[in-house]
Amino acid sequence: MNDCNDVTSFPQEALPPDHRSGFVALVGKPNVGKSTLLNAWAGQKIAIVSEKPQTTRNRIRAIVTKPEAQVIFVDTPGIHEPHHKLGEFMVETATRAVPDADLVLFVADASHPPSHEDRSIAKLIAPKGATIIALNKVDLLPSAALKTRLAEYAALCEHALLMPLSATEGTGVSELMSAVIDRLPLGPRYYPEDQVTDREERFIVAELVREQVLEQLRQEVPHSVAVLVDEFKERPEKGLIYISANVFVERESQKGIIIGQAGSRLKAIGRAARQEIQHLLGCKVYLDLWVKVKKNWRKDENELRRLGYALPKKG
Ligand code: GDP
Ligand code: MG
């Protein structure tokens, strides 16, 4: 990938001559276990950083640094039908992230046969040579059914390497990492560990809140949600970081849905997001969430820019 020319601006320790590194596009429907898999690999060695501002939403999700390799997982936004400008943008970034990557890791759920969405993802990644299909959640499948299921997914993408695993039980997880590393080119470390600036933290915090909103309201409030962090203040006297964030929706009715009965939904979203943020920042967090209506923000390019979505240039 070419946006890493500042690669060696930090001290590189002596790396083995066969050190490998590269960018892995992580694709797959929601809920197939991508986060669980990243966490299973993470241990202490993970750093979560965002991409540069111009490539908002085409962010780096996780970096796994090992003595012999550095693997940079690039999060490709979900593969959505382009109903709106934001949708078009997300499809475009997803489409761009794939050719830029050294390898595509397509995570799928073994407990179901391939769905319509799995097929569209397979179509999107088909031109890419280096592909691994990680067939997760094999623990949910009777072992007699595994062979048929593997064949169904193998048919999606003939040149892909198919690897069954269970991210929650840990089976096949390290084998998958070895297969990923084997397919990366020789190269240096692109990132030092734990390089997370304040700007990036704000952005990731907003993404973590947005993720929880989508997670907990999948059916009701599709993608009408944007999150902007308003305040991010260290309060050493209280031993915590105070974060205030606005959750923007398009309609009053969506606001009501997010807030829920007596605020119960918003509380649950805040609780889950706070846990993720505390994990990221490694300290206690007080999270203040506000839900606000911004009519048709998705159709308004200026509004999208103001909210921090870097739209592709026209022309
Ligand atoms: P993501 O949306 O792709 O990031 O999926 P998550 O990592 O959030 O996982 C979605 C759900 O699937 C969670 O409830 C996980 O605990 C569960 N899950 C993930 N991996 C496995 C697995 O290997 N086996 C089983 N049974 N559940 C899993
Ligand atoms: Mg996830």
Residues spanned by the domain of 276 = 201-306
Q: Give the span between the Cα atoms of 147 and 168, in whole angstroms.
A: 21
Residue whose C-alpha is closest to residue 40's, from 164, 169, 212, 211: 169
Beta-strand relationship, 161-164 and 131-136: parallel
CATH number at residue 289: 3.30.300.20
Contacts of 294 (CB under 8 A, 6+ apart): 226, 248, 249, 250, 303
Number of Cβ atoms within 10 Å of the Cβ of 24: 23
Q: Given this model, what pLDDT does residue 102 score?
A: 92
Q: Are residues 62 and 114 in the same domain?
A: yes
Q: What is the total count of domains within the chain?
A: 2
Express each pLDDT in 156-169 by its tens digit. Answer: 998 999 999 999 99
- Average pLDDT of the chain is 78
Q: Give the span between the Cα atoms of 311 and 92, in whole angstroms.
A: 10
Q: Are residues 117 and 247 in the same domain?
A: no
Residue 293 Cα to ligand 2 middle (Å): 26
Q: Reply yes or no on whether the pLDDT at 54 is more than 60.
A: no
168 ligand 1 Cβ < 6 A? yes
31 ligand 1 Cβ < 6 A? yes
Residue 107 Cα: closest atom of ligand 1: 3
More confident position, 279 or 308? 279
As a whole-number percent, the residues of the chain with pLDDT over 70 amount to: 72
- Asked which of 58-62, 142-146, 200-204, 303-307 is least confident by mean pLDDT, the reply is 58-62
Residue 19 Cα to ligand 1 middle (Å): 31
Query: Is the four-CA dihedral 179, 183, 187, 189 of positive or negative sign?
Result: negative
Q: Are residues 90 and 176 in the same domain?
A: yes
Residue 192 Cα to ligand 1 middle (Å): 29
As a whole-number percent, the residues of the chain with pLDDT over 90 amount to: 35
Express each pLDDT in 102-127 by its tens digit. Answer: 999 999 999 999 998 889 888 888 88
166 ligand 1 Cβ < 6 A? yes
Residue type, 77: P
Q: For the residues of 236-276, what is the DSSP string, one character each?
A: GGGTEEEEEEEEEESSHHHHHHHH-GGGHHHHHHHHHHHHH
In a domain, 217, yes or no: yes
In a domain, 89, yes or no: yes
59 ligand 1 Cβ < 6 A? no
Which band of pLDDT confidence, cut at 50, 70 and 90, is reported for residue 258?
very high
In a domain, 61, yes or no: yes
Residue 287 Cα to ligand 1 middle (Å): 25
In a domain, 50, yes or no: yes
Express each pLDDT in 28-44 by its tens digit. Answer: 887 888 878 887 886 53
Q: Are residues 43 and 114 in the same domain?
A: yes
Backbone angles phi, psi at 127, to 5 degrees: -65, -15
Contacts of 262 (CB under 8 A, 6+ apart): none
In a domain, 312, yes or no: no
Q: Reply yes or no on whether the pLDDT at 315 is more than 60.
A: no
Q: Reply yes or no on whether the pLDDT at 310 is more than 60.
A: no
Contact (Cβ atoms closer than 8 angstroms) between residue 287 and residue 270: yes
Q: Given this model, what pLDDT does residue 304 score?
A: 64
Whose Cα sits closest to atom 26 in ligand 1?
137
Residue 295 Cα to ligand 1 middle (Å): 34
Which band of pLDDT confidence, cut at 50, 70 and 90, is reported for residue 18?
very high
Q: Are residues 131 and 57 in the same domain?
A: yes
35 ligand 1 Cβ < 6 A? yes
